[in-house]
């Protein structure tokens, strides 16, 4: 039986094109059935450009409203009750889909998912986990990157447990290395939150490698990096800014230096290869961990490949029972901490 | 009369070579007298390689101890009372130098500076300000990047005032744009600290442009960016990590793509040009703002050019009376807030 994934077809910057193409690629390559959620007429006219879609396990589920990137999360939640995000998440809640994928408004998707699906028993706060490539050629995940601000030490401990289970289940690493994002390696370094969290993680069953610094995110020395949602969101946005700055400056220097012919060659091959090496879209978006259901949020600039990979990750998330593992692990911790073990 | 700058000659990764060379360049190009602070024998043997130094306003001040990058700040402060950092800062305190520059252990330099120089009247917490290039070709500063953690809203307001005065004085911008690093542009976005700070800055006399996000650091849309020292330090380290990742990945892609001849050309010219465009060393290190004295901390990997520029910035800092401006502005604020204005 294919795994059913509901896809917000109205979410990305160029929707519904990358969504429909990504869904077709996913339905071709993986054992999934994709529900395209959104304005039916718009989706059908995009589907008409791909006759192959008629022979693939792809269906359309109508949703009359669209939440834009400009919409405020709280307002969208109240005002747009038939949005593609809300309809898609209801399909998950009602058991008609095993997971949901959106490239739309992150804030609105998080707020809607928390409301429609609710948190898993034992989870105080769901967390958004960003997955990215390292210079070692491995993946790493950073969480929370924006689902919560002003978190407490026990929230960060739960983020660590959830992130570790996700990393282990998706990337097959037996004992992922868990680090705490701080500003100095010694356990005495950091702020009140990280010092208290350090003690919790040190005495946990996790493979805790201690405090890590900002530059460790990208050097492959740690798999799961835990932080408060404010710090994580800043980290993510700064990474995007620096990557753009360095790429643009280097491109301009190359343009100024070398002949047009070599430049054309480079932009086709080297930058293509480079883009692939650092392509976030290969990792399939950011899972929202700790919910009663599967919700993957991917970048608004997602192309078909990013959508395809997000659908794959959503299916793997569901098939590998990550939420059951999270619930049972956090339940065990809770029993332990209340002396019921 | 040349401005006298004390230079920690033992600080950088390859000390005392870049320090001595940078001091010679500075003494040649600017109206400064440089006091080379550190182990006299070592400094004199490096100076002997540059006969020109004998004709320049350069002197040696002996300090028998060296604080290494591995030394803990608090321990170094207690144990090494004759370190080059401490001796250099004493020269500033005693009025024998107008400013101090070090490429050594940042934590130890900050702790020693706070102890030896003390804070300016009205300054609750000194802040370390990082200066960096933007894609618009301008400079921007981010503070605090690590002098404090767990700051309060009024600390961040003081950082904004000090950063704005520094930026205005060094870069000659009439009304620098001040932004608050947060995770969303609306004033309701962020954590408890940023929401409260937003209100203070909004009602201040600064040219406050509101919340800015991580990617705005490098796009030139804001001049002075304010944040807590934990967030600022993470931001700085992540920036270094991403820049290295992108540069290495792109270099590798280029190597794999193009012929060796073109590669050699590129590494000589394009990467040289690229490096210059993003060269932090042109901006002369990070000032520690809010002290009774001038203290500039530059990167451990500093080359002679970075040292030269740090000496220039230290001299400009002293000549332009930045500390008097900070003291008077914060004094005015304090009088205003206590109704004495």
Give the model confidence (pLDDT) of A5-44 as tens digits.
999 999 999 999 999 999 999 999 999 999 999 999 999 9
**pLDDT, greater one: B65 or B332:** B65
Fold equal for A1-123+290-341 and A125-279? yes
d(CA A112, CA A52): 33
Predicted pLDDT of residue A341: 41
- A240 close contact with B: CB closer than 8 A: yes
Cα Rg for chain B, rounded, in angstroms? 21
Residue A219: list chain B partners with CB under 8 A. Answer: 241, 245
* Tens digit of each residue's pLDDT (9 = 90 or more) over A249-290: 767 766 666 554 555 555 555 555 555 555 555 667 899 999
- A274 close contact with B: CB closer than 8 A: yes
The CATH code that applies to domain A125-279 is 3.40.718.10
Residue B253 to residue A239, Cβ atoms within 8 A: no
Chain B residues 64-103 with CB within 8 Å of chain A: 72
pLDDT category of residue A76 using cuts at 50, 70 and 90: confident
Provide CB contacts within 8 A for A339, sequence distance 6+.
Answer: none
Shortest CA distance from A268: residue in chain B: B257
Joined tokens for residue A310: 């997000």
Predicted pLDDT of residue A279: 56
Kindly report which listed range (B9-13, B38-42, B318-322, B331-335) carries the lowest average pLDDT score.
B331-335
Choices 3.40.718.10, 1.10.10.10, 3.40.1410.10, 3.40.50.300: CATH for A1-123+290-341: 3.40.718.10
In chain B, what are the domain boundaries?
1-123+290-341, 128-282
Alpha helix segments (H runs only) across B215-321: 229-257, 260-277, 304-319
Strand order in the sheet with A3-8: A58-62, A32-38, A3-8, A99-102, A295-297, A286-289, A127-133, A139-143, A224-226, A178-181, A208-212
d(CA B211, CA B208): 9
pLDDT at B269 over 60: no
Residue B217 to residue A231, Cβ atoms within 8 A: no
- B171 close contact with A: CB closer than 8 A: no
Q: State the fold for domain B128-282.
A: Isopropylmalate Dehydrogenase (3.40.718)
Q: Cis link prior to B219 (omega < 30° from 0)? A: no
d(CA A27, CA B89): 67
Q: Among B214, B139, B108, A210, which Cα is nearest to B128's?
A: B108
Predicted pLDDT of residue A257: 60
Strands (E), chain A: 3-8, 32-38, 58-62, 99-102, 127-133, 139-143, 178-181, 208-212, 224-226, 286-289, 295-297
pLDDT at A324 over 50: yes
**pLDDT, greater one: B275 or A137:** A137
């Amino acid at each position: 039986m294919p795994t059913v994934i509901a896809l917000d077809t109205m979410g990305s910057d160029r929707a519904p094109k990358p969504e429909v193409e990504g869904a077709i690629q996913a339905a071709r390559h993986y054992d999934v059935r994709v529900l395209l959620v959104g304005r039916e007429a718009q989706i059908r006219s995009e589907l008409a450009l791909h006759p192959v879609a008629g022979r693939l396990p792809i269906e359309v589920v109508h949703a009359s409203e669209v939440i834009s990137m400009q919409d405020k999360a709280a307002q969208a939640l109240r005002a747009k009750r038939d949005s593609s995000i809300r309809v898609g998440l209801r399909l998950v809640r009602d058991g008609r889909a095993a997971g949901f994928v959106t490239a739309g408004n992150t804030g609105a998707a998080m707020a809607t998912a928390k409301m429609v699906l609710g948190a898993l028993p034992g989870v105080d706060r769901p967390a958004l986990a960003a997955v990215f490539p390292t210079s070692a050629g491995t993946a790493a995940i950073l969480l929370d990157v924006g689902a919560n601000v002003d978190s407490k030490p026990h929230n960060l401990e739960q983020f660590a447990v959830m992130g570790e289970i996700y990393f282990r289940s998706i990337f097959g690493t037996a004992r992922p290395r868990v680090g705490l994002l701080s500003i100095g390696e010694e356990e005495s370094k950091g702020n009140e939150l990280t010092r208290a969290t350090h003690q919790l993680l040190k005495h946990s069953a996790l493979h805790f490698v201690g405090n890590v610094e900002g530059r460790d995110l990208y050097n492959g020395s740690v798999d799961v990096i835990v932080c408060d949602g404010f710090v994580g969101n800043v980290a993510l946005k700064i990474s995007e800014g620096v990557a753009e700055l360095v790429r643009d400056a280097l491109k301009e220097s190359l343009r100024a230096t070398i002949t047009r012919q070599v430049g054309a060659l480079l932009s086709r091959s080297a930058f293509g290869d480079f883009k692939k090496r650092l392509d976030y879209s290969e990792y399939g978006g950011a899972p929202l961990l700790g919910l009663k259901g599967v919700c993957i949020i991917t970048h608004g600039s997602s192309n078909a490949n990013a959508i395809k990979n997000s659908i794959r990750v959503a299916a793997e998330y569901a098939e590998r029972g990550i939420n059951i593992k999270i619930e049972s692990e956090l339940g065990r911790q809770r029993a332990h901490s209340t002396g019921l073990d």
